[in-house]
Amino acid sequence: MGNRYSASILIGGKLPRKHFMALMEEVHLGDLGLEWATPFPAELRDPARVVGLLDGAGHLLLVCESANYGEFPDLEEWLRASELSYDRHSGVDGGCDRVAALWRPGMERPFESWASADGDALVDAGLVLEARRALRAGDLLATLDLLDRSVGALERIGALPPFEITD
């Protein structure tokens, strides 16, 4: 079964209403909920009610205290096949190294990075220090190249869009 760690996932993008119950089935099979240690309530598996449960940025936030290696492989595969964006944060409880995995439509695979306690992707400090040295030396092209290697992928990925159920 593997090691089990806490994880959360923010889901964004446009979900056709006809696929809503398939999403709810993936949530159920993955033992995810809206709160820690609480399965997703059956009475809330209604598109009209789920919209009222979105976080302040309009995302569907799901959590699990015991995700296999802190991942949701079946749900994540389903989300990618459905072209729904997501940001996963593994190791929320500190039981393992914290990892952020971000995926947007058009990406071949999720971008993974070490993560802060808040789930923010962390950058390679070595590249940032090299960029600082290049900037102090007046080499702007090298600085930009190093910064692009450090944070460029995050910039290209972009923000997680709000979750929306469409007709």
For residue range 34-53, list pLDDT tens digits in order: 999 899 998 899 999 998 99
> Does 24 map to a domain?
yes
> Does 141 map to a domain?
no
> Does 142 map to a domain?
no
Which pTM was predicted?
A: 0.88
> Does 59 map to a domain?
yes
pLDDT one-digit tens code per residue, 61-90: 999 999 988 999 999 999 999 999 999 999
Phi and psi at 164, nearest 5°, equal -145, 140
Host domain of residue 21 = 4-122+155-166
> Does 110 map to a domain?
yes
> Does 133 map to a domain?
no
Q: Following DSSP, what letter does each residue of 85-115 receive, concatenated?
A: EEEEEE-TTSSS--EEEEE-TT-SS-EEEEB
> Does 150 map to a domain?
no
| Structural domains of the chain, count | 1
> Does 147 map to a domain?
no
